[in-house]
A and B are shown apart, each in its own frame.
Chain A
Amino acid sequence: MSGVAEERGARAPWALTAPALMLFVGVLLIPLAMTVMLSFHDWGQYKGIEPVFILKNWYEIAADPYYAEMFWRTFRIAILTTLLTALLGAPEAYILNRMSGRWKSFFLLVILGPLLISVVARTLGWALLFGGNNGLVNKLLMSLGVMRSPIPFMFTETGMVVALAHVMMPFMVLSVWAALQRLDPQIENAAMSLGAGPVTIIRRIIMPQIMPGVLSGAIIVFSLSASAFATPAIIGGRRLKVAATLAYDEFLNTLNWPLGAAVATLLLFALVLIVVGSNALIERRYAEVFR
């Protein structure tokens, strides 16, 4: 590096980052380590938390099929949400990209804007539309005589997947849209001039090139859905629990903190493994695209 900064010597970058580094070590790394430790502590209804080192909580999670089922539900919902966002978000990003300048930026804003609007408000909208007999869509369809009973949405996995897909959709559109920006439109024209039909163009030209965008969007959507709290809590309530809502209940209702910490630790490590693993796979598979 040249210029002004160099004169201040090699210690300058460390002096500048030291406050932030101390903050992160003190109030991020230490609390995280404490949480991992907490998952090895004992807990009883009357004795509270006992700071010992035992595998009780981990054994309970491994042995009780309730936890296996709950984690499986969490990941099933995350996978279905990811598929739904990819199936709808990728074509939408492609259509957006073909629009003319002003419409493109307008609709991009319309689709990405909700990203910054409260998740509680967005999920509430789904509850208003489909929530039981009072749901507006249900009311309308029932008064028209299309159905006799409301669409099952609240307290169902389908409802959770639909509402989560709505919440996560902007991430997918954004990710595919970024991949489309790297795509040369001339290749599409070249394929057309060589006699390729629209289906062939999409399958042989577009798909391979936007796949990295779809996959990196999928990683974002998957990891955010698997750890989502607000939407599963509002749609699923206490009846249909996922990892995040279960951890919440253990901490704030049952007060079994060590068990809740074990659930959270498992969720964290499972997600880190999945995200790092699939990132590595994608980068190897699509090395030429990222170059």
Chain B
Amino acid sequence: MRRNGPLALIFHTLFVIIMLAPILVVCLVAFTPEGYLSLPTNGFSLRWFRAIANYPEFIHAFWVSLGLGALSSLVALLFAVPAALAIARYRFRGRDALAALFLSPLMIPHVVLGIAFLRFFTSAGLGGSFAALIIAHVIIVFPFALRLTLAAATGMDRTVEMAAVSLGAGGWTLFRRVTLPLILPGVISGWALAFIQSFDDLTMTVFLAAPGTETLPVRMFLYIQDNIDPLVTSVSACVIAITMSALILLDRFYGLDRVLAGKGDTGR
């Protein structure tokens, strides 16, 4: 194959710079020693990271996001793992329709989901509650949990299971001692990707969150609506750092390219 010419490399360099510039700027401004938005030209300072401590709303929102992401991804997996096993192993009537239904939260705009859940949970008397947030997040992260579990279950070596059955294992033991350990990398990656999706969601959550159940993106969004100052950049830098750690975890267990390739199909 031909190599890239100088023009192509210039285009590529500019492209990468433009892709990274907004993210780098946020992280750099977070270290400014000044009281206003500026690049840290006179040395780095952690004052805006320390300033986060004076805003209990951000700390509280962080814990809400963390708990919400962890719990909703876990609950989603409880529903997704059996469903993935069924879809991977059986050919039954309605299988394609079921798979389409389970992946449909990817197709429905999150603003529509937010409105639908707001209406639904308000009528059910759960408006603004943490329980409502959990249920709503289970639905939006479900496709990610399902997809990665499905990939692991489809690629699994079934002969090990047969050997276990021939040795007398059945039902729960078979699942717990043989099937689950085999699909575990997919399940953990599904959890991590689901967690990131939940942790990052703004559009749907902004409809459901009430004071006290505001997540970090919602708190950041409402804060930006009023003013943009270095505080919100230091919070963003923390969020970026957390996402990066989750990405590294994903890469270890599963390979980031496979995860991202799965995400690229989402709109189809």
Contacts and interface: CB of A to CB of B under 8 A. Distances in A.
Interface of A: 1, 3-5, 10, 12-14, 16-17, 19-21, 23-24, 27-28, 30-32, 34-35, 38, 88, 91-92, 95-96, 98-99, 105, 107-129, 131, 134, 136, 166, 169-171, 174-175, 178, 185, 188-189, 192, 216, 219-221, 223-224, 226-230, 233-234, 237, 243-244, 247-248, 251-252, 257, 260-261, 264-265, 267-268, 271-272, 275, 279
Contact of A118 (B16, B82, B240, B263): B240
Contact of A136 (B25, B104, B202, B221): B25
Given A119-B202, A252-B207, A219 B267 contact: yes
Nearest to B78: A19
Nearest to B164: A4
Contacts of B83: 16-17, 19-21
Interface in B60-90: 78-80, 82-83, 85-87, 89-90
Interface in B10-30: 11-12, 15-16, 18-26, 29
Contacts of A131: 228
B257 A108 contact: yes
B19 A125 contact: no
B266 A220 contact: yes
Interface of B: 1-4, 8-9, 11-12, 15-16, 18-26, 29, 36-39, 78-80, 82-83, 85-87, 89-92, 95, 98, 101-102, 104-105, 107-112, 115-120, 123, 135-136, 138-139, 142, 158, 161-162, 165, 174, 196, 199-200, 202-203, 206-207, 217, 220-221, 224-225, 228, 232-233, 236, 239-240, 243, 246-247, 256-257, 260-261, 263-264, 266-268
B108 A20 contact: no
Given A20-B142, A116-B196, A261-B119, A98 B26 contact: no
A136 B19 contact: no
Nearest to A140: B39
Given A121-B240, A267-B112, A14 B92 contact: yes
A34 B109 CA distance: 16
A107 B26 contact: no
Contacts of B18: 166
7 contacts: A20-B80, A27-B120, A112-B260, A125-B25, A131-B228, A192-B2, A248-B207
Contact of B23 (A4, A121, A251): A121
A116 B9 CA distance: 26
A1 B236 contact: no
Contacts of B139: 23-24, 27-28
B228 A227 contact: no
A224 B263 CA distance: 13
Contacts of B85: 16
Q: Which of A105, A109, A188, A268 has the most CB of B within 10 A?
A: A268
Contacts of B256: 109, 113
B112 A116 contact: no
A114 B19 contact: yes
| Chain A contact residues, majority secondary structure | helix
B110 to A, nearest CB: 7
A171 B117 CA distance: 27
A226 B111 CA distance: 11
Contacts of B19: 110-111, 114, 166, 169
B203 A229 contact: yes
Given A115-B260, A124-B233, A134-B36, A13 B92 contact: yes
A32 B119 CA distance: 9
Contacts of A188: 1-2
Given A27-B139, A28-B139, A257 B119 contact: yes
B114 to A, nearest CB: 8
A268 to B, nearest CB: 5
A215 to B, nearest CB: 11
Q: Which of A19, A109, A114, A128 has the most CB of B within 10 A?
A: A128
Nearest to A98: B4
B92 A227 contact: no
Contacts of A252: 206-207
B221 A230 contact: yes
Contacts of A10: 92
Contacts of A88: 15
A92 to B, nearest CB: 5
B23 A264 contact: no
A218 B215 CA distance: 31
B267 A220 contact: yes
A265 B112 CA distance: 7
Nearest to B15: A92
Given A96-B12, A99-B4, 15 more contacts: A3-B162, A16-B86, A17-B83, A23-B79, A30-B120, A34-B116, A95-B11, A118-B220, A119-B202, A122-B22, A128-B25, A128-B37, A128-B233, A229-B110, A244-B109
